[in-house]
Chain A
Amino acid sequence: MEGFYKFLSNNSIFIVTFIVLIVWAGVFFYLNSIDKRIRQIEKENKGERNEK
């Protein structure tokens, strides 16, 4: 554990990388969830049209 902290404080660029990865994952899953919801609405819309 001690060695790990030392490694991070010497190579702080990895912390930056880690934060960037978290941000990217957040953006990705947020977009993905919107995409899914839109797909659902698209399907419902088509279904309604067929009923008419």
Chain B
Amino acid sequence: MIWKTFLFLLLCFVSIAGISFPIVENPVHWYQYPMIKGLEENAKIIFFHVPTAWLTVVAFFMSTVYSIQYLRKKNLDDDAKSYTAAQLGIIFCILATVTGAIWAKFAWGSYWSWDPRQTSIFALLLIYGAWFALRSSIESEEKRASLSSVYSIIAFLTVPFFIFIMPRIMLGLHPGAESIEDGKVVQSASPVVDFKMNGNMLLIFFLSLIAFTILYFWMWRVGYKSLIYRDKILKQSSRG
């Protein structure tokens, strides 16, 4: 169980470093972050907000992969895996949306402004919501598994469209985002044009990404195993 200790210490370090390291004009020591004009302290959200958004996408992708797997092999364990991935996905999706909205209040002045990525995560939230609504309406296990697999594959197919369409329709506000107007790529309309991380900021960012990903896989494994064993025990007790 070395990796658990490692994960624990890593996330402890990331949260201490991500929240409390100072931001200074000219970073000298390794623990200092550079000042980003227009963001200042707000820039620290990147250590926590971006990993949650990333995990939302990973969870959605995994849920679809196991849906395909279920349709091919008709093994209910795959459905449990897909279901757990989606459950975690909706948790991280809500986290990403809420943290993003609170941050946006301070950085852009309003909680919600229909920026391309905000709209995309909203669409993801809708898909997850619809998926769970569909699952809760079906009682038979096999039917529920196959119907929700089909729906999650169809929903997954719409995601590339969002990625492609959104920047064409609305202006990007996220730091580093670009918008396409009249076929030309223009810089984002956000107050933060120049978003550059220095070495240690990047390092902590990637450490945070790694730590959150490990955490996600751990949670996912615990989740699907408990689902599978619950079903097994229920079946055993009903048999006698």
Contact residues of A with B, CB < 8 Å?
11, 13-14, 16-17, 20-21, 24-25, 28, 31-32, 34-35, 38, 41-42, 45
Contacts and interface: CB of A to CB of B under 8 A. Distances in A.
Interface of B: 4, 7-8, 11-12, 15-16, 19-20, 218-219, 222, 225-226, 229, 232-233
A31 B219 contact: yes
Contacts of A32: 4
Contacts, number: 40
A41 to B, nearest CB: 5
A47 to B, nearest CB: 14
A42 B222 contact: no
Given A21-B12, A24-B11, A38-B229, A31 B222 contact: yes
Contact of B225 (A13, A24, A38): A38
User: How would you classify the secondary structure of chain A's contact residues: helix, strand, loop or mixed?
Assistant: helix
A45 to B, nearest CB: 7
Contacts of A28: 7-8, 11
B40 to A, nearest CB: 13
